[in-house]
Amino acid sequence: MREIARALIAWYREARRTLPWREEPTPYRVWVAEIMAQQTRLETVQPYFERFVVRFPDVAALATASLDDVLACWSGLGYYRRARMLHRAARLVVERHGGALPAEPAALRALPGVGRYTAGAIASVAFGLPEPVLDGNVKRVLARLLDLEQPVDSAGGERRLWTEAEALVRAGGDPSALNQGLMELGALVCTPSSPACPACPVREACRALPAGTVSRRPVRSARRAPRVQPTVALVVGRGDGAVLLRRNPPEGLFGGLWSVPLRASGPSARQAAVALGRSLGQGVVVQGGVAGRVEHALTHRLLRVAVYRAGAPGARAPRGCRWVKPPAGLGRLGVAELTWKILEVAMGAKKEGDRRRRSPSRSG
Ligand code: SF4
């Protein structure tokens, strides 16, 4: 363990990528970066992170901001639940810890959105404590180093990996470099396909390499296919180009975000679209058939969305809704990613329809 730890730390100090939170690893910046990096690649995270910490430079600024502002700044990064929990957690850090993130993993884990991995990352990277981390990259590296036959997503497999990660971080002299070295090795060298084993700093200790099982590690349990949810979306347009957006309730699908009105549909998508129009208020009338289709994957569900267009007679927005002119108006709100996709499809269909109406038919 000590040899592996030493080799990893030395390699990390040489090979690490320059990232804004690594250059200035304050607890707040490490926390924001770790929450953003859950389910998102670091390359994607970087510009969002830079914008976010300029807009909300510390816990106090985040805690006093409105949820709307936070969601608008997060817009485009997806998985908005993370932003809502970050905002809630910032308020708790102010209430419970006077605005300074605690170092103890137990206190960190008491904050919304902070699980064992994130607590370990903040404790080790920002505070230098020997706390383990276990994300997808670390799981892959450790499963190969150990030539682990147990599925890494099983309870037993996870338990074993946490134990190994803990032993490793306690064996090394620099918990921050060790943990980041493990993650960086998984991202740059011990990659899912075609790992660069000849360039690996811990190849001497790797059990999967001599066993010829690298491509079969890590083992995963068979995945269940996501549940398909037929859905209808209504793009309600006003004469001046504005569309109707509705604020979703705080908990549930796209909680707290603005989106075009959506509804789960049964066998008849059109009936569901008409019912959705009626629920918005008098005079919202569905126009024509399906304008397009969009698919949107959530963690355990696949939304298969039939997009309809509709018109509204009055200028007044129904309760909980507002008129927004895309694209500029959308950029100022926290808008669900799916809404951008739906509007793209609906606008494309409208342009195509207008073009057909303008060009005379060939048959005269
Ligand atoms: Fe991964 Fe290859 Fe290094 Fe083993 S030798 S840890 S498989 S990169």
More confident residue, 11 or 241: 11
Q: Is the pLDDT of residue 361 over 80?
A: no
Question: What is the pLDDT at residue 95?
Answer: 95
For residues 137 and 151, give the distance between their C-alpha atoms in angstroms, rounded to a whole number. 15
Question: What is the pLDDT at residue 354?
Answer: 54
Q: Is the pLDDT of residue 307 over 50?
A: yes
Q: Is the pLDDT of residue 362 over 90?
A: no
Average pLDDT over residues 119-135: 95
Nearest CA to ligand 1 atom 5: 203
Ligand 1 atom with the smallest distance to the CA of 214 is 7
Pairing state of beta strands 301-311 and 227-237? parallel
CA nearest 36: which of 52, 14, 60?
52
- Burial (CB < 10 A; 0-12, 13-18, 19+), residue 115, is exposed
Domains present along the chain, CATH in parentheses = 2-216 (1.10.340.30), 227-347 (3.90.79.10)
Rounded to an integer, what is the distance from CA 82 to the centroid of its chain?
Answer: 7
Q: Do 290 and 230 touch, CB atoms closer than 8 A?
A: no
Say how many C-beta atoms besides its own lie within 10 A of residue 326's C-beta. 19
The confidence band for 304, taking pLDDT boundaries of 50, 70 and 90, is very high
Nearest CA to ligand 1 atom 2: 197
CA nearest 118: which of 86, 144, 78?
86
Average pLDDT over residues 144-162: 95
The confidence band for 352, taking pLDDT boundaries of 50, 70 and 90, is low
For residue 23, how far is its CA from the centre of ligand 1 (angstroms)? Answer: 27
For residues 83 and 93, give the distance between their C-alpha atoms in angstroms, rounded to a whole number. 15
Q: Is the pLDDT of residue 158 over 90?
A: yes
Lowest mean pLDDT among 66-70, 86-90, 123-127: 66-70
CA nearest 138: which of 172, 110, 163?
163
Q: Is the pLDDT of residue 43 over 90?
A: no
More confident residue, 216 or 283: 216
Pocket of ligand 1 (CB under 6 A): 141, 144-145, 189-190, 195, 197, 200, 202-203, 206, 208-209, 214
According to DSSP H, which parts of 172-239 are helical? Answer: 175-188, 208-211
For residue 14, how far is its CA from the centre of ligand 1 (angstroms)? Answer: 18
Instruction: Tell me what the pLDDT averaged over the chain comes to.
Output: 90
The counts of H helices and E strands in the chain are 16, 7
| Mutational test site, ligand 1, from 164, 168, 184, 209, max ligand atoms within 8 Å of CB | 209
The confidence band for 364, taking pLDDT boundaries of 50, 70 and 90, is very low
Question: What is the pLDDT at residue 353?
Answer: 55
Catalytic residue among 23, 24, 34, 337: 34
- The widest CA-to-CA distance across the chain, in whole angstroms, is 83
The residues near 232 (Cβ < 8 Å, ≥ 6 apart) are 262, 263, 265, 269, 272, 273, 276, 305, 306, 307, 308
For residue 142, how far is its CA from the centre of ligand 1 (angstroms)? Answer: 9
337 is catalytic: no
For residue 235, how far is its CA from the centre of ligand 1 (angstroms)? Answer: 50
More confident residue, 224 or 277: 277
